Each structure stands twice: as structure tokens, then as C-alpha cells.
Chain A
Amino acid sequence: MIKEDTGKFFETNSKKLDKVSDVEWKIAIKKCEKHLFFKLMNKTKFGAHTVENLGNPAKDYYLEYAYSRILDGFWEWKNDFDLTEQLIRIIDSRISTVVKSYKNAKENDRKREREGKYPLNTVIRSQDIENTFYNLRSEDEVDETELLEIENDYKRIELFVSESKDKNIKMFWECSKEGYKRSEIAEIMEVTPKQLDKIKEKFLRQTKKQIGKDGN
């Protein structure tokens, strides 16, 4: 009997996975780790992405979820995407689902409490919804402590940039604050995307000292 714990894309995904080397996996894992770091910045101490809710640290939970879906064939690895792109899409979808489920469960609990009933535990329901990079707060509630942390981070970066003599750092921060995208900033600063990457790395390296967080 064929085992039921695999999805309908098990065989097709497996054929693609046969061609993935260890180095490619390492790069994919690293890139996803960074993605999760920026995506969940200041969001793992309270709410949907806590260890209490997920059962594991958020970075581990979402990464493992993503590659499990591909390995076990429950999510089709489409030809249009490389391994990392596909994993990131699954991660974003899962984050969106977890947040929605958490909010629904919380709302249900509030309702039950209003009705004088005991609150229930959070139940995560499965939905597949893509999320976009520049829409980070659309589904999250921000906790007071997180807000304070965000304000402090912001002040430290502002202070650091105002004291910096590096024009590129100043321009990069101003553009990013305004919400410009990668290609737009490269155009404004008259640099190639690769040069912009270097500027970003420098910005992160230097601000890391200010905000004491590590994106690696």
C-alpha cells in the first residue's frame, strides 16, 4: 500500500531534489535564515511567532515547515522558481497563515470569555496565502514592548546615520525610510544592484553595532 504521509508532488519534487547539491542547500538555508531574520524582526517575543505558539524558535519552525512541504511533496516545486525562491514563498505563506490563525483564535477566546466560557488553545488552520515584502505589519498586532524596541532601534539608527560621514550610508537610509525599492534606490544612487548590496552590507555591519542585532 502506498503510504499516505506524502503529498501528490512527492515524486516530481524528488526528481528535482536529486539535482540539488549540499552547497545549494546550504545557500538556500542561509538565504531563508536571513529572510526570516528581517521578516520577523521584533516580532518573536510576543504573539503568533513565539516559541510558546509555534513550539519551536520561529526561524527553525518556518524553515523546517518550508523544506518539509517540498521534501514530502505537499507543495509543488514549480519550474519558475529555484529552491530558495520556492522555500521563501512557502515561508511567507505559512507566516501569513499562522498570523491569521492566531488572530482568529484570539478573537474566539475573547468571545468565549465575554460569554463566560473558558478560552481554548490556539489552533492553526491551513491556508495558503502569499504575502509581500513591503506589507510587514498588515496582519500583525504590535505589542507595547515591541513598539518601544522599534522606537529605540529607529532612534539609534537615526543618530548613527546623522553622525556618519558616509554619503552612501546616509542616502541608503533616507531612501529606505521612504519605502523605495531596490531598483529605485540603485537608480537614485546611480549604482548597480551589486554595488547597492555592498552599501547595504556596510550599513548593516555598522548599524548592527548600534542596535545590537545580528542578521547572520
Chain B
Amino acid sequence: METNKALKALDNLYGLLLEMNYHREPLDFLEEIEEDDSFVSKHLRNVKLRRSKNRALLAQNRYVKLRKDFLRLKEYGFEKLQELLTPNERIELQPLFNKFKELEKQDEIDINEDQDFLIFISNIKDKIDDNDS
């Protein structure tokens, strides 16, 4: 009986502490985080390491997807692609078309950072999709 009472009381207490912890304002924790908190430092380090790896993986995935789109566009044919554009667009997008023709694996990093080229691929893809439907 005494054991049950103790169990119940402490379960209730820990339940309350869990609830209070859950609702506590994040800013209230600031003063509790000390520079030498080894638990926090260890896990923050781990999180940051994994984030770096994941960022690299994201870039790689993005390139893989881009390459897939590129191969699809290539199958469509450059001349046919040019026909989808207005004369002005053709002139404006010529440098990107040249890049498109020369796309190689070693360009991976450049391409991932080249927002104009990514938008270009995406727009051309949309035009084909519109044309096909």
C-alpha cells in the first residue's frame, strides 16, 4: 500500500515536471546553458556534423535530379527545345543553352550554385510538360 502510494505520488510529480518542462519558454533555458555543458556540447557537435553531411547529400541529390531532367531534355532535342522559346527568349537564354550542351560531371558544384541555370532547366521542363499535355 505504502509502495503504491509512493509510486503514484512520484509518477504524478514527474508527470507534472515533464509538463512544466514542455511548456517552459525556450528563453528561460538560456541562463541554464553553460559553456561547459558536456551533454549539450556533445550533441550539438553531432548535430552540426550530420547537418554538414546532409547538406552535401542534398546538393548531390539536387544534381542527380538535375542530370535526370537534363537527359530528358536532351532526348527531346536541342532544336525542338529552341522552338519552344520566343526569338527574344532564345537570344537571352543562349549562354545557358551553351552551358546546357556542355554539361559534364565536373560541373556539379558550379551547376548547383548556379541559380540561373537551375531556373532555366526548370522552365524548359515546364514548357515541355505544357507542350506535351
Where the two chains meet, the residues of A that have a C-beta atom closer than 8 Å to any C-beta of B are 1-3, 6, 10-11, 14, 17, 22-31, 33-35, 38-39, 41-42, 59-60, 63-64, 67-68, 71-72, 82, 84-85, 88, 133-137, 142, 147, 150-151, 153-155, 157, 173, 176-182, 185, 193, 196-197, 200, 204, 215-216
Structural contact, B7 and A150, CB atoms closer than 8 A: yes
Distance, CA A150 to CA B70, complexed state (A) = 65
Interface size of B by CB at 8 A reads 47
Please provide the chain B residues from 67 to 95 with a CB less than 8 Å away from any CB of chain A in the complex: none
Structural contact, B16 and A71, CB atoms closer than 8 A: no
Give the A-B contact count at a CB cut-off of 8 A.
148
Q: Which 5 A/B pairs are nearest by Cβ-Cβ distance?
A: A154-B6, A134-B15, A179-B12, A177-B9, A133-B18
Structural contact, A133 and B61, CB atoms closer than 8 A: no
Structural contact, A134 and B44, CB atoms closer than 8 A: no
The answer to whether A151 and B6 touch (CB under 8 A), given A23-B30, A29-B44, is yes
Structural contact, B21 and A34, CB atoms closer than 8 A: yes
Residues of A within 8 A of B46 (CB): 64
Q: How far is the CB of A25 from chain B (nearest CB, A)?
A: 6
Structural contact, B37 and A39, CB atoms closer than 8 A: no
Structural contact, B19 and A133, CB atoms closer than 8 A: yes
Q: How far is the CB of A127 from chain B (nearest CB, A)?
A: 21
19 A-B contacts (beta carbon < 8 Å): A1-B64, A6-B54, A22-B44, A26-B33, A26-B40, A27-B29, A31-B29, A35-B21, A60-B42, A60-B43, A134-B12, A135-B15, A136-B14, A176-B12, A176-B13, A179-B12, A182-B16, A196-B20, A197-B28
Having A27-B33, A134-B15, A150-B10, one finds 5 other A-B pairs with CB under 8 Å, namely: A30-B37, A84-B26, A136-B11, A173-B13, A179-B15
